[in-house]
Amino acid sequence: MLEIDQLEVAWKGVTLNYDFTVDVGEILTIQGRSGVGKTTLLNVIAGFEQAAKGDVRWQGESLLPLKVTQRPVSMLFQEHNLFEHLSVWQNLQFGLVGDDIEQRIRQAAAVLEVSDQLDKSPLKLSGGQRQRIAILRTLLRPEPIVLLDEPFAELDSTTRLIANDWVRETAKAGNKTVLLITHQNEDVERVGDRNLMLN
């Protein structure tokens, strides 16, 4: 279980408070107005922001003393998810492990309709194509906690539905605990198990 326990974060002179739990294998969608602290929450869980008070625990163990590189977290940012000076395929080599990983990448790429983009430079891809490559890598990584910050923002309505379904199926198959920020109610209904509205 992921426990966000009486967490307080100082952000731009405001104190943000969080207190909730997420079950293992659950997909929690997070909504709220801009500036309410959705991204900040994911950054604290991933280790990029410091907490002022409270704790973040995974399976009973506090994550806060751990470095970013030691946390069991795979995160998708709003931007800069691919190294633009490396090819898409090179980008996909990072963080992915397993003997069958190449096959899994190709299968996922086929579903997400980016098979033809794997040998290209990220600079040659559209925003939506880049985002699908980044979603693919984030979900296929072995970490049990997955943090997705507006993953479908750049996708058109058709690819959005495809990506919605792939994210849910892959997360469930891998028993991932997912926190997903979105502004779209459609994503909440199609992907999430439960919705958290931050005020």
Partner 1 sequence: MTQLFGKFSLALLLSMTALAFYGLMGFSASKGNSGADWSLLHDSYFWSILGFSLKQAGLSAILSVVLAWPIARALYYSPWLPFRSGFLSLCLLCFIMPTLVLITGLVVLLGRSGLLVSGWVEGWNLYGLHGILIAHVFLNMPFAVRVLYQQMNNIPDTSWKLAGQLKFTPLQRLRWVEWASLKATFLRLFGFIAVLCFNSFAVVLALGGGPQATTLEVAVFQALKYDFNIPEALALAWIQFAITGLLYVMVSRWGSVNWLSAETSVRQWLPKPSALVSVFNAVLYTLVWCILLMPLLALIPGIAEMNWQKFNWQSVLLPTLTTLVVGVMSASIALVVAYGVLIPLRQSAIRGQHKLQLLHEWLGMHTLLAPAMVLSVGLYVYFLPRIDLDAWGMLFVVLLNAAVIVPFAAQHLRPRLLQFDQQYYRLADSLKLTGWARLKVELPWLKGTLLFSFSLVLLFAMGDVAIFSIFGDEDWMTLPWLIYRFAGTYRMAEASLASAILLLICAIIVLYFERSRRHAGN
**Residues that bind partner 1 in the complex, under the rule CB under 8 A:** 46-48, 68-69, 73-75, 77, 80-83, 85-86, 94-95
Extended beta strands in the chain, E state: 2-11, 14-22, 27-31, 53-58, 61-62, 73-76, 145-149, 177-181, 194-197
Please report how close the Cβ of residue 69 comes to partner 1 at its closest, in angstroms: 4
State the amino acid at position 119 in one-letter form: D
Nearer to partner 1, 47 or 188 (CB): 47
Q: Which is nearer to partner 1, 149 or 187 (CB)?
A: 149
CB of 24 to partner 1, least distance (A): 21
* Distance in angstroms (rounded) separating the CA atoms of residues 66 and 112: 34
d(CA 193, CA 98): 28
CA-to-CA distance for 147 and 139, rounded, in angstroms? 9
Smallest distance, Å, CB 188 to partner 1?
25
Q: How far is the CB of 77 from partner 1 (least distance, A)?
A: 6
Choose between 48 and 169: whose C-beta lies nearer to partner 1.
48
The Cα-based distances of 95 to 20, 43, 52, 142, 198 in angstroms read: 28, 19, 30, 8, 31
Q: Which residue lies nearer to partner 1 by CB, 29 or 81?
A: 81
Nearer to partner 1, 74 or 159 (CB): 74
User: Shortest approach of partner 1 to residue 119 CB, angstroms?
Assistant: 16
